[in-house]
Structure 1
Amino acid sequence: MNLQTLPGLFISHGSPMLALDPEQVGPALQRLSLNLPQPQAIIIMSAHWESEALEVSTAVRPETWHDFRGFPQELYEIRYPAAGHPELAEEILHLLAEAHIPAHANSTRPRDHGVWMPLLHMYPEANIPVVEISLPMNMSAEQIYQIGQVLAPLREKQILLIGSGSITHNLRELSWNGDNSNVPTWASTFRNYVVSKLTHSDYGAVLDWQQIPFVQKNHPTLEHFAPLFFAMGTGTRFSVVHSSFSMGALGMDLYRFD
């Protein structure tokens, strides 16, 4: 593996307020980017682009989409004007076709906050092209993992692959007053189980997500957990970059796959 090969990442992007209040994870994302070679481009699967079939953004310069309500006006004024990369999008579509994974081009989709919010901390100058791919919710965990495997060789071209979701994500159980001190046992147990299995290279136990303790409590719907399957496919050596909880039960972990 050459020195310029980039890892795959799983990023817990948390609440939209992360853009204004970085807590612990914002500086961790910044440090992570400083410790990596400068990417030629970024490919990111976000929890906030759910689709039937897999889609790939071919837009030249997607709009910044504020896909949330009820937050401070300052948040809606943020823009992340990084260019798209239609040529890379076409390469992605070609790789997927070769692997017999159906995928479609989408030239109109704006960028959701699962993309621009973490990148705001990692690459604030927005000077690296970004291609977003959708989260195909009709695919199994193994199929989403396979998408990561198919795109993993792009890491050797200095392309950063990211799954953007959250290691835990039950908004009804959060302490919206900002109390981070009391992490519920069901959240820490779930997080620790996943990390233990990944640390011991037991990816199968994570892909068999229905058997993970407290999975329904942590993920009433699966869209914030599923980008981890994509990230897992990008590399076989797992490490924890950062671990913390926000608002009690919202896991803010960052994982690296080499």
Structure 2
Amino acid sequence: MMPSLFIAHGAPLLAIENNDYTKFLNTLGQNLPRPKAVVLFSAHWESKVQQVSRVEQYSTIYDFGNFDPSLFTIQYPARGNWDIANEIEDLFIKNDISFKNDTTRGLDHGAWVVLRLLFPNADIPVISMSVNPNLTPDEQYKIGKSLSELREKDILIIASGGTVHNLRALKWADNGEVDSWALEFDDWLARNLENWDLQSLFHYDSLAPHASFAVPPFGNEHFIPIFYAMGTADNNPKATSLHRSFRYGNLSHSIWQFG
């Protein structure tokens, strides 16, 4: 059965950097079983109703500014897959989850940066999915759970975001030191993911140390994709940390495998 993944997409600069994290993602893509398609939930696509892309050929969205100009020349011309989009919609109907189709939106950097590092040839079909930060964690988990059987069909499900993501706290003059509050929050998260303690995880905002700083109210869209990814492995509740590092003092580069 194909695993599901939560992958931190970091800053857009990852697309042109050669570091330990980008090398790890390159290697991960080479070692994964080749998926029939990728279903990707991105922190950078927010919507009040779940969106399912029905795009034949994706454009590349540059949803950032003030970065290296070469980033704006990168293309990731992935194709969609309407048959798998149909499967997703059937599963949502079966599980009483409201959704809408999107036929125009391209891939934002939360999607294409990760996909390009994993699968640089853009030769695997992609179904892009939105996230809804206004839902409760258990509702986000339920959306993921409704798609769990896709993993039995060689479809890789990825949730792209970041476990610690507070842009106001970043230290761009990176000296390699990691803020203690970021480590404490991420350690708490790791313990509860490995124990699959949903009750604690669903109440992370009141139970986890430094939660309001690690996952600020204005930026929880980067954290909540982890619940979508977990839900897809509800029938095999196992969480494995594949990578953890930090940039800019506290921005997490973490990868979790579920299932």
Q: Which of 159, 180, 183 pairs up with 1:188?
A: 183
The Cα of 1:167 is off from its aligned counterpart by 1.0
Query: How far apart in 1 are the matches of 2:197 and 2:18?
Result: 32
2 CA distance for matches of 1:117 and 1:28?
A: 14
Residues 169 and 218 in structure 1, CA contact (< 8 A), matched pair in contact too = yes
Offset at 1:205? 1.2
Corresponding position: 1:123 with 2:124:
no
Counterpart in the other structure of 1:206: 201
Q: Which residue of 1 aligns with 2:220?
A: 222
Helix, strand or coil: the match of 1:241?
strand
1:146-194 Cα offsets, whole Å, 9 max, x none, are 1111111101110000110001001111111232x21111100000000
- Two-structure CA RMSD over aligned residues (Å): 1.0
Aligned-pair CA distance for 1:23: 2.5
Contact map agreement 2:76 2:122 (CA 8 A) in 1: yes
| 1:255 partner letter | W
TM-score by length of 1: 0.96
State how far apart, in whole Å, the 2-side matches of 1:138 and 1:243 are.
Answer: 27
Q: Partners in 1 of 2:20 and 2:249 — Cα distance?
A: 14
Matches within 5 A, 1:110-189: 110-179=106-175, 181-189=176-184
> Hey, what's the Cα distance between the residues in 1 that align with 2:9 and 2:21?
9
Q: CA deviation at 1:137?
A: 2.6
* Stretches of 4+ aligned residues off by more than 4 angstroms: none
Q: Distance in 2 between matches of 1:226 and 1:30?
A: 24
Aligned partner of 1:239 in structure 2 is: 240
Contact 2:132 2:221 (C-alpha < 8 Å) held by counterparts: no
Q: Show the counterpart of 1:49.
A: 45
Q: Which ranges of structure 2 fall in alignment gaps of 5 or more residues?
A: none
CA distance in 2, matches of 1:136, 1:53: 7
Structure 1: where are the runs of 5+ without partners? none
Aligned mates of 2:129, 2:104 — CA distance in 1: 13
In the alignment, the residues of structure 2 paired with residue 191 and residue 242 of structure 1 have an alpha-carbon distance, to the nearest angstrom, of 12
Whether the 8 Å contact between 1:203 and 1:232 is mirrored in structure 2 is: no
CA distance in 1, matches of 2:255, 2:238: 14
1:16-37 deviations in whole A, cap 9, x for unaligned?
0000114322111122122211
CA separation of 1:196/1:35 partners in 2, compared to 1, >3 Å: closer, same or farther? same
Single out whichever of 52-61 and 82-91 deviates more from structure 2. 82-91
- Describe the SS at the equivalent of 2:140: helix
Q: Distance in 2 between matches of 1:163 and 1:22?
A: 22
Looking at structure 2, the residues matched to 121 and 109 of structure 1 have their Cα atoms a distance apart, in angstroms, of 21
Alpha-carbon shift at residue 70 of structure 1 (Å) = 0.8
User: Given the two structures, how large is their TM-score scaled by the length of structure 2?
Assistant: 0.95
1:29 counterpart residue number? 25
SS at match of 1:30: helix
Say if 2:59 is the partner of 1:63.
yes
Alignment deviations for residues 98-155 of structure 1 (CA, whole Å, 9 cap, x no partner):
1001001110111100000011110000000001110023321111101111111101
Separation (CA, whole Å) in 2 of partners of 1:183 and 1:199: 22
